[in-house]
Amino acid sequence: MIAIIVATGQDEAFEGLNEYLPVPLLPIGDRPFLQHIVEYLAHQQVRRFEFVLSHLPEKIEAALGDGVRWGCEFRYHLLPLGADPLRLVRTLSAGRQDTVVLCTAVCLPALDLAAIKPSTLIQYRDGEGVPKWTGWGVFTAQDLSLPDFDALPVMDAERCLCIRTGQEFLVSQRQALEQFFPGLMLSGRQADPGIWISRNVALHPTAKLTAPLYIGENCRIGRGAQIGPSAVIGQNCIIDAHTIVVDSTVTAGTYVGEGLELNSVIVDRNRLLNIRLGTSLLASEAFLLGSLTSRSSGRVPQRIASILIALSLLVFLWPVLLLTGLCLTLAKKGSLVFSEIVRIPTEDDPAGWRESRVFRFQVASGHGRRGCFLFQFLPGLISVLSGDLFLVGVQPRSRTQLLQLPADWRSLYMKTKAGLITEAAVMFGENASTDETYSAEAFYSATESVSHDCKLVGLWLWSFISGPKKTGIDLAEDANS
């Protein structure tokens, strides 16, 4: 018996939310809904899974892996844009002699697969008693070759979890927490009936918990917060003081600000989907809703060193900075401007990017290495002093520039830090090509450290003193010889 799971990953009901989160990865309890499906089938001895993917397939594959942890074999198949999923399903099942369980990744009916005869469709009845096909069925290869399934017998599932709509998602969330659905696994311990709390959760003594609810690991619940009923807080979240979360889901790595009232919503970092109103919004203020995944404490020494060096340089060189600005203004050859850049490290989702300003002198004509020092480096020290840049890092980029980078380049770029002195400028000069810049930034992201930053500063100082005759590569070779 094999399972073919159609997980196209996108649904208009979750528009705004599913732009960077496939619908099958929405959490029910402590894990993605698709993982519940996999575990439910694996428990019934299904060992081979074929996944038909379309929207954000890399995220679904990263979440599930190769299936080894469940003792199963997973294979992934990309559905072309606009193609019929059933056509690919028929191709995958062609010539098979064993039974095929066809599934959709937005429904999970309660089934005993061993008791279901092949050539059977599975339906459920909604809250109004209207029968609906779950998208599930137990088939033979000959059944799947039929043009339609209208002639096949149908059986009702006693219970079914669905996330086809936001309202169905909230109902399924409550049913999972109340253990209404048999065989669904939840990690953590039950502090009280219906109250699931994972490890390393910090609860303020005045916080109020109302069953059913689930709180993931490493969460912080603030003073006077009210969680539940029917609330799920993903791992690594902060719910600030006096915030109310009722009939809502907060995904992993989300910060929820002080004094908010969340009712019938799904919150994914700074994105909020209101189920009752059918609307979504992005919170522009990080003190309301934001992401905790991009915060980094591992660069504190570099940050402190950058600020101290920038302060020292500005104390001694502020007359040069002031004189440069006056000369450019009086001669009408330039002016002090600022550029909006994306602060890194940050997350993959552009909705979570925060921007800051970098100062520089805009001049009409080109300039060499010493011109870069006067027109870019010196005013850039102001941004280092304010904490928007490091002294050493990769090239600062605007939102538009960052979106234009290839996906692999952008991914490594967002994990490092931006600075005034860059690997590309030191090793290849101020006019480094695109390929040279990419290789330099890839190298820097892999070797970033305090000692490497110090080495780049030394090479940059030497090239500034000695002039542009040698690149950083030449200087590095000379230093090693």
336 pLDDT higher than 60: yes
Distance in angstroms (rounded) separating the CA atoms of residues 264 and 273: 9
Q: What is the pLDDT of residue 244?
A: 96
Count CB neighbours of 357 within 10 A. 14
117 and 137 Cβ atoms separated by less than 8 Å: no
Mean pLDDT, rounded, for 413-425? 90
Q: What is the pLDDT of residue 468?
A: 53
Mean pLDDT, rounded, for 383-397? 91
472 pLDDT higher than 90: no
Q: Which residues contact 322 (CB under 8 A, 6 or more apart)?
A: none
Task: Convert the pLDDT of each residue in 225-244 to its tens digit.
Answer: 999 999 999 999 999 999 99
475 pLDDT higher than 50: no
pLDDT band at 407 (very low <50, low <70, confident <90, very high): confident
Q: Which residues contact 423 (CB under 8 A, 6 or more apart)?
A: 394, 440, 441, 443, 444, 456
pLDDT band at 258 (very low <50, low <70, confident <90, very high): very high
CATH topology agreement for domains 2-165 and 189-291: no
Q: What is the pLDDT of residue 369?
A: 66
**Of the candidates 174, 163, 186, 162, which has an alpha carbon nearest to the alpha carbon of residue 247?**
174
190 and 208 Cβ atoms separated by less than 8 Å: no
Q: What is the pLDDT of residue 227?
A: 96
CATH architecture of 189-291: 3 Solenoid (2.160)
pLDDT band at 365 (very low <50, low <70, confident <90, very high): low
Q: What is the pLDDT of residue 265?
A: 94
Task: Indicate the fold that domain 2-165 takes in CATH.
Answer: Spore Coat Polysaccharide Biosynthesis Protein SpsA; Chain A (3.90.550)
Dihedral (Cα; 242, 246, 251, 255), 10-degree rounding: -10
pLDDT band at 77 (very low <50, low <70, confident <90, very high): very high
Task: Convert the pLDDT of each residue in 426-462 to its tens digit.
Answer: 888 878 888 889 988 888 887 888 888 888 988 888 8
450-466 vs 300-330: helix crossing angle, rounded to 10: 30
Task: Convert the pLDDT of each residue in 29-73 to its tens digit.
Answer: 989 999 999 999 999 999 999 999 998 898 999 999 999 999 999
Mean pLDDT, rounded, for 149-162? 87
281 pLDDT higher than 90: no
Proportion of the chain above pLDDT 70, given as a percent: 93
Give the chain's mean pLDDT: 86
Q: What is the pLDDT of residue 450?
A: 85
Q: What is the pLDDT of residue 297?
A: 46
Domain ranges, ordered by start, for the chain: 2-165, 189-291, 300-480
Q: Which residues contact 284 (CB under 8 A, 6 or more apart)?
A: 270
The structure tokens 């840049």 sit at 389
